Amino acid sequence: MAAVAAKPHVLVACAVLLLAVGCQASPFWPLEIGYYHDKCPQAEAVVKGVMEKAISQNPGNGAAMIRMLFHDCFVEGCDASVLLDPTPFSPTPEKLSPPNDPTLRGFELIDAIKDALEAACPGVVSCADIVAFAARDASCILSRGKVNFQMPSGRRDGTFSNASEPLKFLVPPTSNLSDLVASFVIKGLNTEDLVVLSGAHTIGRSHCSSFVSDRLNTPSDINGGLAAFLRGQCPADATPGGNDPTVMQDVVTPNKLDRQYYKNVLSHTVLFTSDAALMTSAETARMVVENAKIPGWWEDKFEKAMVKMAGIEVKTGYQGQIRKNCRAINHY
Say which CATH number the domain at 70 has. Answer: 1.10.520.10
* Residues taking part in catalysis: 71
Average per-residue pLDDT for the chain: 92
pLDDT digits (tens, 9 = 90+) for 269-319: 999 999 999 999 999 999 999 999 999 999 999 999 999 999 999 999 999
Q: Which residues contact 213 (CB under 8 A, 6 or more apart)?
A: 174
Q: Are residues 103 and 127 in the same domain?
A: yes
pLDDT digits (tens, 9 = 90+) for 209-256: 999 999 999 999 999 999 999 999 999 999 998 899 999 999 999 999
Number of domains in the chain: 2
Q: Are residues 67 and 160 in the same domain?
A: yes
Q: How far apart are CA 79 and CA 72, in angstroms?
A: 7
192 is in an annotated binding site: no
75 is in an annotated binding site: yes
From the CB of residue 253, how many other CB atoms can be counted at a distance below 10 Å?
A: 17
Q: Which domain, by its residues, includes 144? A: 42-169
201 is in an annotated binding site: yes
The answer to whether 55 and 61 have CB atoms below 8 angstroms apart is yes
pLDDT digits (tens, 9 = 90+) for 13-39: 333 322 333 333 345 689 999 999 999
Q: How far apart are CA 39 and CA 54, in angstroms?
A: 26
Evaluate whether residue 34 is within a structural domain. no
pLDDT of residue 10: 34
Q: State which of 114, 147, 169 marks the end of a domain.
A: 169
250 is in an annotated binding site: yes
